[in-house]
Each structure stands twice: as structure tokens, then as C-alpha cells.
Amino acid sequence: MELLESTWQRRLAAERTEWSLEKDRLEIAVRRLEEENRRLKSSQDEELRLLEGAKANQQQVLDAERDKVREEERRKHHALMEDRDAAHQAATRRYHQEFDRKLGEAKDTYEEQVRRLRKQLHDQATVASLADKVQSSTRHVEEWNVRLQADKTLEETRRAKELEARHAELKDMEKKLHQRQRDLDDHEQRLKTLQDDINRQRQELDHTAQRDQERVRREMLRLEALSAAHQGEEDKTRSKYEEVERELNLQRTDLERQRQHAATQLDKVRDELDEREKRLRQWAETLKAQQQAAEDSVLKAERRIREAESHVAEEKRKLVQDLRLAARGKEDVESAQLRFAGERAQIDEERQRVHAMKKRVAAVALEVQQKSQELVGMYLDMKTEARRVYNLKNQIKEGEQDYSDRLATLRGLHIDLEKRKSDLFRLDEHRQQQRW
């Protein structure tokens, strides 16, 4: 009986020690889980805060870089336009100077030719007066011949000499007349050559003007073709811009939807974390209540064991005192053994409940560990989603930069084309004014 009692006490002490160790281990595990939950939550909040700060800083850097690039492109475009305007104005001035010089040379040549023509016309008038004089001299000679014939008998010798002198003078005058005629023919030939030169120069000027007009017409056609091509390119660019804008809008919508989805998922995760934290607290409270109930049960069992021990001691004392009443004492011992067996059955039931509680706590700890792993996986998924959102933003920024560059190039080409059209129009007006 004493051996059974000591064995039972040792088993109760071992069970009590094991239960105390298990309770301490479970409390440590619960505290670790709570600390891990708080650490994960604080780490997630810190990551979200850092992500939001990095997002805001990146957006500010992108905005500043975009403004800087736009300002640099505008400055380069303005400098290029100024250089093109200066080069075009210098070329226009050189062309006007060359045109004025050629026009002045043509005017000087024309005035010289007019002076020559006037001089030649004056020489023709002189030759005509000489011809009149020759004719009058011829008539005078004829008159003298008549007179010589009439007065032949009177002054034949003197008149013959005079006649010879007149004939010599007439020959001289005829020679002068022939010389004048040759000079006049030479002047007429030079005048004809000069007229041919003037006509040729006029034809060359007309041909040059026609070539210039044809070149201007071809240039206008080329400019119209360029304008049409530019209009087509501008339409294509506008359609591409609209397509890119639609794509950007779709990407923005998709990005906004993904952001909302991520925010919704984050809210869900936060709610789920809060709910799980609440459940963990409830489980911890339940576990504490179960531990308290188990401790109460253990205390009750210990109290029952002490009562049983005191009862056994009392029974032992009674058995020692009543050895002579063996039969009756034997029945009492058997009843005490039966009660002791009942107490032992109750202790076994308590042990089974404690073992079941250990299993439930282990299951709860395993579930908490699985949920923690799920939270870590969801956190990694959120980081991957944030990285994908950042890559999408970079792609959108590159598309906007490419479109801005192409739009600036097209605008520069359009401005250059408009300036070339206006310059050609002013040049055509200047030529028409010079021609008139």
C-alpha cells in the first residue's frame, strides 16, 4: 500500500512537472508568435511607408527630370530656329545683292547700248545731210556743165579747169560719200549686232526668268508635296499619338486598377492580419483560460489527492488500530481501494484532457506558423507587384519621353516648312516687283 502510494505520488509529481514545463513552453511559444506577429506587422508598415516615400521621391525626381529635359529641348530648338533664321536671312541678303548687281549691270549695258544707238542715229542724220549736200553738188555740177556748154566758146579753158576741179572735188566727195556709206553700213551692222545682242540678252533674261519660274514652280510643287507628306506624317503622328495616348490611358487605367486591387488586397491582408491577431489574442486568452482551468483541475486533483492521502492515512491508522477487526477492516480497505481507483481514473481523465489540450495548442501553433508563412508569401507578392508597378511607370515614362521627342521634331519640321514657304513667297513677290 505504501509502495503504491509512493509510486502514485511520484507519478503525480512527474505529471505536475511535465505539465508545468509544457505550460511554460506553450507560453514561450505564444509570446514568440505574438512578437513575430508584431514584428511582421511593424516590418510591413515600415516597408509600406518606405515604398510610399520612395514612390513620392521617384515621382518628384521624374517630374524634375521631365521638366529639365523639356526646358533643354525647348532651348535647343529655339537656338536651332535662330541659327536657321540667321542663315536664311544671310542667304536672302546675298541673293538680293547678287540680283541687284546683275540688274544694275544689265541696266548699265542697256543704257550704253541706247547711247550707242542714239549716236549711230545721229551719225545717220549726218550722212543724210552729206548725201543731200552731194546731191546739191551734183545738181550744181550739172548746172555748171550746162553753163560750160553754153559758155564753151568763151571760157573753155578756164571752165575746163574748173570742171576738172569740180570733177576732182566731186570724186573726192563721192569717195567721202562711199566712205560715209561704208561707215553707215558698219554702224548699221554694229547696230544690228547690238540689237541681236540685246535680243539675245533679253531672250536669256526671259529664259532665266522662265527657269527661275519653273524652279520656283517645282519648288512650290515640292513644298506642296512636302506639305502633303508632312500633313500625312502629322496625321500618322496624330493617330500614333492618339493610339499611344489611348494605350497610356489603358495602362493608367490598368495601373490604377492594379493599384486599387493592391490597395484592396493590402486592406484585406491588414483586415485578415487584424482578424488573425484578434483570433490569436482570443486563442491566447482561451489558452490562458484553459491553462487556468487545467491549473484549477490540477489543484483540485492535488486537493483530492491530499484528501485521499489524509483519508488513506486515517484509514491506515484505523487499520492499525483495528487489526483485530480484519474482516471489517478488509472491507473498508477494499472500499478505500475502490475510491482510490476512482480518484486514479479521474486523474487519468485529467491527464487525457491535458494531452488533448496540448494537441490543440500544437495545432494552433502549427496554424499560426502556416498563417505567418502565408503572410510572408503575401508580403513577397506585394513587393513583386510593387516592382511590376514601378517597371510599368518606367515604361510609361519612356513612352511619354519618346512621344515628346517625336512631337518636338515634327513641330520643328513644320515651323521650318512654314518659314521656307513664307521666304519663297516673299522671294517670288520681290522678283515680280523687280520684273515690273
- Residue 32 confidence (pLDDT): 74
CA end-to-end span of the chain:
148
Query: What distance in Å separates the CA atoms of residue 342 and residue 158, rounded to the nearest whole number?
Result: 207
- Residue 38 confidence (pLDDT): 74
User: Taking Cα atoms as reference points, which of 397, 386, 385 lies closest to residue 59?
Assistant: 397
Query: What distance in Å separates the CA atoms of residue 88 and residue 420, rounded to the nearest whole number?
Result: 9
- Residue 252 confidence (pLDDT): 60
- Residue 71 confidence (pLDDT): 77
pTM over 0.95, yes/no? no
Angle at 40 between CA 35 and CA 46, to 5 degrees: 125
Residues of the chain with pLDDT under 50: 1, 127, 134, 333
- Residue 31 confidence (pLDDT): 73
For 272-311, give one letter per residue: b (16+ CB within 10 A) or e.
Answer: bbeebeebbeebbeebeebbeebeebbeebeeebeebeee
Query: What distance in Å separates the CA atoms of residue 304 and residue 436, rounded to the nearest whole number?
Result: 136
- Residue 1 confidence (pLDDT): 47
Average pLDDT, the chain: 64
- Residue 378 confidence (pLDDT): 61
Query: What distance in Å separates the CA atoms of residue 426 and residue 407, rounded to the nearest whole number?
Result: 29
Distance of CA 370 to the CA centre of its chain: 46
Q: Where are the domains of the chain?
A: 2-435
